[in-house]
Amino acid sequence: MNLTMSSCFEELQCGRETNARLGRVRTVHGTFDTPAFLPVGTQGSVKTLSPRELEEAGTEAILSNAYHLYVRPGTSVIEQAGGLHRFISWKRPILTDSGGYQVFSLSKLREVSDEGVSFNSYFDGQKIFLSPERVVEIQEALGSDIAMVFDECPPPNRDREGVRQAVDRTILWAKRSKVVRKREDQLLFGIVQGGRFFDLRKESLERTIEIGFDGYALGGVSVGEAHDEIATVVRTMGPQFPRDHVRYLMGVGTPKDLFMGVEAGFDFFDCVNPTRYARTGTAFTSQGRLVIRNGKYATDQKPVDEACDCYACSNFSRSYIRHLINCNEILGHRLLSYHNVYFFLSLMRKMRDAIQQGTFLTLKKEFESSYDDNLR
């Protein structure tokens, strides 16, 4: 299947009062509706959940990390299995992140140059060199539906000159990535950097569009900066992205942030929050975040979220799940992970319905009036 920039995304409806829109992304492993949330399966697994459970929860696409899969088990193992989809038994779309975030997060273990990045592997300490060409090669070997170019993600406190250097390097790598791509059945997305400097953000977007990609992502957001800065970047940049292409907001994923991103015109999102919070005994609910492991829920026979109809909420009490979590029983983490993923996916379905009905701002107002960000 030969996908082109003009055929991989279709805008179905644009909101009347905001930039929120309905769309559809086409890949060789099926389509998915937007706005969408992609659960994160860094190592090829959304932690504690099986592919069947993800499908039952309504997952349309997932994210994996090319860098981590390259380190373990290695692309040769996955190629021998017939590609990432067969290796992990997932039949729907997969987006692979390039590993650019590791340039940021593993700052003590790497050296960056225009040629690429030298890493000391987090796993065994061995030296690894990743160039933009090698990252494309890895993702093509994995066979993901959407591949991301290699980018440099500057820390939020980087000065202007440092951010300028990261923008220029990301553009250089993007050009080299596009030159070496071979698979016509894999979409390739460019990434916009620029930190807190909006003129650099705009320049990065314009130069990335000039290269030409199947979709465009806003990177370097939610990497340690204040929430107000995140909101300003998202709201300013969203409407400037090409309307006829997919707009991907990387790594932003609290419920309120999802509303913010959708309102700004972004189409899909990813974040580890649903499963990461679950492993600490915390649930996302329609009323806010609940720390189920706390003593106040020891005899609470209500479901995790009385407004939720997921498997966990339909069958188990807060009291029981708290017991499991505090005994370190794996089932507790699994039930909370299932609920949290279901909650995020259900929230996106509600947003899509509201955009279609012209009531997105009403839904956002109602949600924010009842959702408490404070842990309870």
Active site residues: 97, 270
119 φ, ψ (degrees, to nearest 5):
-110, 150
C-alpha–C-alpha distance, residues 184 and 204, integer Å: 25
Q: For helices 330-357 and 255-263, what crossing angle results, to 10°?
A: 30
Angle at 15 between CA 13 and CA 18, to 5 degrees: 150
In sequence order, what DSSP letters do the residues of 324-364 get, joined into one string? HHHTT-HHHHHHHHHHHHHHHHHHHHHHHHHHHHT-HHHHH
Q: How long a stretch of residues is the chain?
A: 376
Q: Three-state SS for 121? A: coil
280 φ, ψ (degrees, to nearest 5):
-100, 5
Which residue reads 């090698």 in tokens? 134
Which residue reads 């279709």 in tokens? 10
